[in-house]
A = this chain, B = another copy of it.
């Protein structure tokens, strides 16, 4: 069995409390005993038992991270940023995922709380309101990320999706595109915001938002391929496309090339999300980066502040600024 403070105390004929004080540099302990304790601790390779410590301090120095799927690089990067932000403060991140299943999400959240995490960061699937009530009742601080949930009063950190749509579309316009289509994402707030940014950019430049240039896609490359196919059959090809996200854009690019058109010469393509293989594609893809690192970092900082400050701090919303990443798929020069 592992070494405990008791072992050290008995070896040295001091009390356990003395050992504890030395190890935490608390209270008044003479330099002599301090050294003796430290030396013996090192010899025995003593390690704090965090379970015991947590029981009495009511702090585990652990934050829970609840994600739909950490094999998606988007979430993996957020997780990494969170872990890196809390580590210097002595916290660990424990990561759980729930596969977009609200029931599993509740179960995992409660498991994390039963393990007494000091706080939670959640990219929630669904407004299972009871979950949030439960957290509030137990006064566990939590931060929502990426997906705001209507009707839940909570701090939130996420990218400004409207800005993503605006940035990408604006860039296409700056590249000289006149007929700009949008492959729109699934029926959720994120897709709606990106669409609305697309519309604002068109409006700003007095381009007409033609209905036939707005095509339903989803979130995968297959849906992008199909949507693009429909768009190309329906009439004259657009000269620019903003796609809901990178996979959709990749599918669209394939459809464009299959149709014998060239990127960006005939059609410029922009995506969103900056998946990390966007630049090893046949034509490297212009996209809008969501700055996962900033998202994770800000969320973690906010959470730590809430944890340390006891008080049920007011719900803050932090919007991360997206950044345009220009690659070949839109580089046609303003001269076009």
**A residues with CB within 8 A of B:** 2, 45, 47-52, 54-55, 60, 62, 69-71, 73, 76-77, 79-80, 83, 92, 94-97, 110-111, 113-116, 134, 137-138, 221, 247, 250-251, 254, 275, 277, 280-282
Known contacts A83-B97, A92-B96, A250-B280; 19 further A-B pairs (Cβ under 8 A): A45-B134, A50-B114, A51-B115, A51-B116, A62-B115, A69-B80, A70-B76, A71-B73, A71-B79, A71-B80, A76-B76, A80-B97, A92-B94, A92-B111, A94-B94, A95-B95, A247-B280, A277-B280, A280-B281
Complex Cα–Cα for A71 and B71 (A): 8
Contacts of A50 in B (CB 8 A): 114-116
Nearest Cβ in chain B — how far from A114, in angstroms?
A: 5
Contacts of A52 in B (CB 8 A): 55
Nearest Cβ in chain B — how far from A48, in angstroms?
A: 5
A-B contact pairs, 29 of them (CB 8 A): A2-B138, A45-B134, A45-B137, A47-B113, A47-B114, A49-B114, A51-B54, A51-B55, A51-B115, A55-B55, A69-B80, A70-B70, A70-B76, A70-B80, A71-B73, A71-B76, A71-B77, A71-B80, A73-B73, A73-B76, A83-B96, A83-B97, A92-B94, A92-B96, A92-B111, A94-B94, A94-B95, A95-B95, A247-B280
